């Protein structure tokens, strides 16, 4: 595990992916700076105590939603950056290097997956913490609960990387891994369309199809709602997106292990 973790870290340095995340973080800092100027104008119109309370609540909600968007962008970048890592592991010459290690295929694949998730997840968290520190310095926004938002999105990255991992094993290419992730993302939109169709035509088959797709596809949007609610201290009304998305990731990894164990590389 330690050797695979070190390999993943070396790959990260060699591919210079850090610069891409640094650029995204700089853009986020510029947005926070611009938000500070808009916030000054907003607070000028909130002179009484009640208004100040409204302003504080508005800032907390706006910052939580802003960090949610930022983390989503970072996860997208990480997904694109890691799409080729599993297929690269299967290339002739390199596959022999990995398979020659005294590890079972199950342990080898899971070690590789969790090494990538840990290294790139820490990179995502580092970018988020830099943006949080900047917002605390500039806006005075330093809600400790925001770490719950980071934790949920770190889990969200694992969920999407499990899909990318399966795609990389099935198609042996970064483009195939990205295509599978894109198809899953599109499927997530289908339940909403079927809800609309069910209002027009009340067919049980539509509802069944909607329910099947809903529970087979991770709900990133719902997880984002959970993350924001935790960040602003509001009660979470629906934990289902978090639990069922996690179960989908576990199922994806189990299928990925099954594929990896049965294919000849």
Transcribe 157-226 into DSSP letters: HHHHHHHHHHHHHHHSSHHHHHHHHHHHHHHHHHHHHHHHHHHHS--HHHHHHHHHHHHHS--HHHHHHH
- Closest by CA to 118, choosing from 89, 74, 158, 67, is 158
Residue with the larger pLDDT of the pair 118 and 51: 118
> What pLDDT, on a 0 to 100 scale, did the predictor assign at position 50?
47
Provide mean pLDDT across the span 235-243: 91
Q: What is the number of domains present in the chain?
A: 1
pLDDT at residue 214 above 70?
yes
> What pLDDT, on a 0 to 100 scale, did the predictor assign at position 33?
79
Positive or negative, the Cα torsion across 232, 234, 238, 243? Answer: positive
Q: Is residue 6 very low, low, confident or very high in pLDDT (cuts 50, 70, 90)?
A: confident
Q: Is residue 191 very low, low, confident or very high in pLDDT (cuts 50, 70, 90)?
A: confident
Residue with the larger pLDDT of the pair 101 and 258: 258
Phi-psi domain of 103 (left: phi exceeds 0; alpha: psi -120 through 50; beta: other): beta
Count Cβ atoms below 10 Å from residue 226 Cβ, excluding itself. Answer: 23
Contact 200, 188 (CB under 8 A): no
Q: Is residue 21 very low, low, confident or very high in pLDDT (cuts 50, 70, 90)?
A: very high
Contact 213, 191 (CB under 8 A): yes
Q: Is residue 193 very low, low, confident or very high in pLDDT (cuts 50, 70, 90)?
A: confident
Residue-wise pLDDT tens digits, 31-74 = 887 766 665 554 555 444 444 444 455 566 777 888 889 999 99
SS3 61: helix
pLDDT at residue 190 above 90?
no
Q: Is residue 81 very low, low, confident or very high in pLDDT (cuts 50, 70, 90)?
A: very high
Provide mean pLDDT across the span 78-104: 82
Q: What is the mean pLDDT of the chain?
A: 83
> Can you tell me which residue has the tokens 């069944």?
208
Between CA 68 and CA 146 the distance in angstroms is 10
> What pLDDT, on a 0 to 100 scale, did the predictor assign at position 36?
62
Q: For residue 201, what are the domain limits?
A: 2-262
pLDDT at residue 157 above 70?
yes
Helix (H) or strand (E) holding 41: helix 17-44
- Closest by CA to 109, choosing from 120, 121, 99, 119, is 99
Q: How far is CA 63 from the centre of its chain?
A: 18
> What pLDDT, on a 0 to 100 scale, did the predictor assign at position 60?
67
Between CA 103 and CA 211 the distance in angstroms is 40
Count Cβ atoms below 10 Å from residue 49 Cβ, excluding itself. Answer: 8
């Amino acid at each position: 595990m330690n050797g695979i973790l070190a390999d993943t870290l070396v790959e990260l340095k060699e591919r210079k992916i850090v610069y891409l995340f640094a650029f995204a973080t700089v853009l986020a800092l510029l947005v926070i700076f611009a938000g500070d100027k808009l916030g000054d104008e907003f607070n000028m119109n909130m002179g009484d105590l009640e208004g100040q309370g409204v302003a504080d609540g508005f800032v907390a909600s706006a910052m939580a939603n802003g960090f949610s968007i930022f983390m989503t962008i970072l996860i997208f970048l990480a997904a694109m950056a890691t799409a080729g890592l599993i297929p690269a592991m299967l290339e002739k010459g390199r596959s022999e290097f990995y398979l020659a290690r005294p590890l079972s295929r199950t342990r080898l694949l899971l070690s590789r997956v969790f090494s990538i998730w840990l290294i790139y997840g820490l990179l995502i968290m580092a970018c988020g913490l830099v943006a949080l520190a900047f917002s605390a310095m500039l806006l005075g926004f330093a809600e400790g609960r925001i770490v719950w938002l980071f934790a949920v999105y770190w889990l969200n990255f694992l969920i999407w990387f499990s899909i990318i991992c399966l795609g990389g094993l099935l198609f042996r290419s970064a483009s195939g891994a990205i295509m599978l992730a894109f198809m899953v993302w599109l499927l997530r939109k289908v339940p909403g369309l079927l809800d609309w169709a069910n209002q027009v035509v009340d067919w049980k088959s539509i509802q069944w199809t909607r329910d099947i797709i809903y529970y087979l596809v991770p709900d990133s949007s719902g997880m984002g709602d959970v993350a924001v609610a935790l960040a602003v201290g509001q009660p979470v009304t629906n934990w289902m997106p978090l639990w069922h998305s996690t179960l989908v990731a576990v199922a994806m990894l189990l299928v990925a292990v099954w594929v990896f164990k049965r294919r000849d590389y």
